[in-house]
Structure 1
Amino acid sequence: MFLAPALLGFAVFFAWPSIRGLYLSFTDFNLLRAPEWIGLDNYIAIAQDPVFWNSLWVTIEYVVINIGIQTAAALVLAVLLHRFTRSMIIRGIVLLPYLIANVVVALVWFWLADYNLGLINSALDSIGFDRVGFFGNELLAMPTIALINVWRHLGYTTLLIFAGLQAIPRDVYEAAEVDGAGEWRTFRSVTMPLLRPVLAFVLVISVVGSFQIFDTIAVTTGGGPVDATRALNVYIYDQAFAQFDFGYASALSVVLMLILAVVALLQLRVLRANESDLDR
């Protein structure tokens, strides 16, 4: 009885749409007529679709930049918080950007980095540097979007890692200190191995979330310039709600789901997320 509401919500909002989407991926469906079964035609078309492969590459570029910088910065910030302060006020300040809606964050940074009116370009101009088209340059657009989301999600990732640091027993650090280990050796030989399960969890949820980037792109570049920021989710949205090709969009969604499943499983296997060095 207690599980019934959650199971009902799962069935209505997740299980049934997933099954329906899987079925539609094998059909030609545009809302104007009943779905027509076409077998694997959509998947064959995906394999031959240059826009899909470009979208996949753009998405991977975003994930690498976003996760690389975000995880490294969050780890450093979490260690600093753990070693030097336990202030709830500071933790709240660190988490504050994550509490702002992603669309609002994107719009604010879109204005700040605007070529003509943005404060960033005005500052560059005032000190003698050329203005930069952050969202209009093919090479800079996706890194700019990635850094915006690094800024927003950094606090959340930091607090997850900080929670993992708090779970490490203090006597382990005391033993390392007695053995003469310095700060760097303690971090490399004690903190990182014991933090591995938490880092694995953080990386899995961060990578899965990054592969689903949409809102920041939608309100800034819309996928441009010249498909430089057309990530997979943006391409799926365009096929479904601009081209009304729901069968093809469903097939793209299934492919994205399979990619995420493989990536998550590889991360869990490589990082040995179900093991802890504390048990050894």
Structure 2
Amino acid sequence: MAVTKSASAVPRRASGDARVAAAFIAPAMLGYLVFLVWPTLRGVYLSFTSFDLLSSEKWVGLDNYRRLVNDPVFWDSLGVTLHYVVVNIGVQTVVALLIAVLMHRLTNSSLLRGIVLAPYLVSNVVAGIVWLWILDTQLGVGNEMVEALGFDRIAFFGDAAWAIPTIALVNVWRHVGYTALLIFAGLQSIPSTIYEAGRVDGASEWRMFWAVTVPLLRPVLSLVLIITVIGSFQVFDTVSVTSDGKPANATNVLQLYVYDLAFGRLQFGYASAISVALMLVLTVITVVQYRLARAGQSDLD
């Protein structure tokens, strides 16, 4: 009889736990559905319509996608975005990995971690405005230093050759601390005994970095690359406050083009088509990165 009571109590307790868990999850799930799932589905639908906010949607089928394929501004914006992504991801990953390894091998100071993370606490808009002032051609402190070194002043945000690399490096400055801490967390999971064995065998720090750290850090690096690539393709605010697509569309990234189409020209259907195309591109890139890097496998297993 006691066994029967105990067995019946287990399902009731499990059911109660499930209700409590559902209550905690519900607010986040509601936000997820309202602010992510529904806008995504709505955007996919609008990509097949002609919509300008002033009239109801008109179904046009694949017309927006045909226009996209033949739109030179779209392809130019995609090229500009790819240029930004290559510079941003290349520099950010290398610098973040270097910072993380140095913190892991030399110090465990919480103060140092806070200093490294500090730029990430500044919003993109504020960071963009501050660097716009620092690198101003006439009054900027950065250009004062360039001139003091004997070089001509540089229009960092106004020259087609300098604008995208400058914006990319501004965002590297802001995000590199956060990326470094993600990598640092991955380094913490590598057993110290492996490094001790390497030292016993006479391996140098450089040799252990390539033979131990990088292979064992591969899953974390893969995750970091996926996150940063997705974020880089969606760059908007820094470009908007510093160059606004200028000069001559040299910084007209995809998100800025989508914004101009939707809120500048009220072409919400076509803007949605470009957004859906970008979502598909990022999905493919993410899957390819995940598979090539074997992100779901660890050499520690």
Structure 1 length normalisation: TM-score? Answer: 0.98
- Give the aligned residue type for 2:247: P
Shift of 1:6: 2.2
**Amino acid paired to 1:79:** V
Matched residue type, 2:251:
T
How is 1:53-72 mapped onto 2 (pairs within 5 angstroms)? 53-72=75-94
The equivalent residue for 2:3 is none
Distance in structure 1 (CA, Å) of the matches to 2:270 and 2:29:
29
Number of equivalent positions: 279
CA offsets, 1:14-40, max 9 Å, x none?
111111111100001001111000000
Aligned to 2:5: none
Counterpart position of 1:216:
238
* 1:17-96 pair list within 5 angstroms: 17-96=39-118
Q: After superposition, where does 1:117-128 map in structure 2 within 5 Å?
A: 117-128=139-150
Q: Could you tell me which of 149, 166, 183 is aligned with 1:144? A: 166
Aligned residue for 1:225? 247
Distance in 2 (CA, whole Å) between partners of 1:42 and 1:61 is 25
* Secondary structure at 2:38 match in 1: helix
1:91-170 mapped onto 2 (5 Å cutoff): 91-170=113-192
Counterpart residue identity of residue 172, structure 1: I
SS at match of 1:82: helix
Q: Which amino acid aligns with 2:284?
A: V
The one-letter code matched in structure 2 to 1:188 is W
Which secondary structure does the structure 2 equivalent of 1:229 belong to? coil
Which of 243, 246, 263 is equivalent to 2:268? 246
Give 1:138 shift: 0.5
- The whole-number CA distance in structure 2 between the counterparts of 1:126 and 1:199 is 39
RMSD between superposed Cα atoms in Å: 0.9
Percent identical pairs in the alignment equals 59
Q: Which has the larger radius of gyration?
A: 2
TM-score (norm 2): 0.91
Once residues 54 and 249 of structure 1 are traced to their aligned partners in structure 2, the CA distance between those partners, rounded to angstroms, is 15
Residue 7 of structure 1: how far off its partner (Å): 2.1
SS in 1 for 2:300: helix
| 1:9 aligned onto 2:31 | yes
Query: Mind listing any 5+ residue stretches in structure 2 that lack a counterpart?
Result: 1-21
For 1:102 and 1:136, locate their aligned partners in 2 and report how far apart those are by CA, in whole Å. Answer: 19
1:114-173, Cα deviation, whole Å (9 max, x unpaired): 111111112222333211111111011000000000000111011111111111001111
**In the alignment, what sits opposite 2:214?**
192
Which residue of the partner structure matches residue 235 of structure 1? 257
- Structure 1 distance, partners of 2:192, 2:148, is 50
CA distance in 2, matches of 1:7, 1:165: 32
Amino acid at match of 1:100: V
Shift of 1:235: 0.4
How much has 1:189 moved relative to structure 2? 0.6
Amino acid at match of 1:262: V
